[in-house]
Amino acid sequence: KKKIIARLEKEAEKDYNWLMRANWKGNIKCTFTSYGKAFRLLDKVKNALRVRDPEGFFNPYWVPDFNGAAAKENKGVIIGGWYTSGFQGYNKWGGYLKREMSGIDGLASWEVDPMGSGYSSSSGGSSGGSGQVDWVSVNAEMVCGLNFACTKKWISLSGGPGYIDEPRSTTSISIHKNYKGEIGGTYQWSGKFGNKVCSGTINISGTKRNFMIKVYDHCGDAGSYEY
């Protein structure tokens, strides 16, 4: 019996490690810790993730199915498929999810992230009293007079607490709040202007809709600003 239990635990650990490494676009990944054995909470957390959209007539569930679930000791991971492309409705779902998760006995902590790079929010406008916006558009330009050799070709963005719509773009990049409602913070950027590649960091307050990265042709900051 002990050998069987040991073999099952080893297989469960293998599944857990595999799912933790997974990055399947169009899915959400929920990781959590428990005060006891995490496998006992897998079904309860699944039910919470599958909370019903009260306004979803044709699509009643944001997470209609699951593509993997595993636990190792007091840690668990669940991967579920989002009902449509682009993670529409993610912020709204997050509000209902917090309520469902708070009702699970034995759940110590949890976190949910959208996998891949296709996140976009269905909500807009200011979040209210905090003055935080739901999304920020980041663009970049090089200050070099009439020299067309420094025309922007692409920019990329990483870091920060927010969800980045596309890590690399030829136009602008949108950042959206994470499920905790966070967006302001430090982000790393790089961009190609003509044949010149520059990089740096920016601090986004989360209170303005737009951020313009401005650099000189030697890659020094030329007065980046929010507006």
Task: Report the 10 Å Cβ neighbour count for 187.
Answer: 22
167 and 85 in a common domain: no
What is the pLDDT at residue 214?
A: 92
Tell me: do 109 and 6 sit in the same domain.
yes
Number of folded domains that form the chain:
2
When pLDDT is cut at 50, 70 and 90, the band that residue 2 belongs to is low
Domain with 156, as residue range(s), is: 135-226
The 10s digit of each residue's pLDDT in 131-146 is 677 778 899 988 886 6
- Between 23 and 56, residue with greater pLDDT: 23
The answer to the question of residue 119 being in a domain is: no
| Domain of residue 89, CATH code | 3.30.70
**pTM of the entire predicted model:** 0.53
For residue 127, being part of any structural domain is answered with: no
* Whether residue 97 sits in one domain with residue 185: no
Does residue 126 sit within a domain?
A: no
Q: Is residue 123 part of a domain?
A: no
Digit-coded pLDDT (tens) for 179-219: 777 888 999 999 999 888 999 999 999 888 889 999 998 89
Q: What is the mean pLDDT of the chain?
A: 83
Domain boundary pick from 81, 114, 147: 114
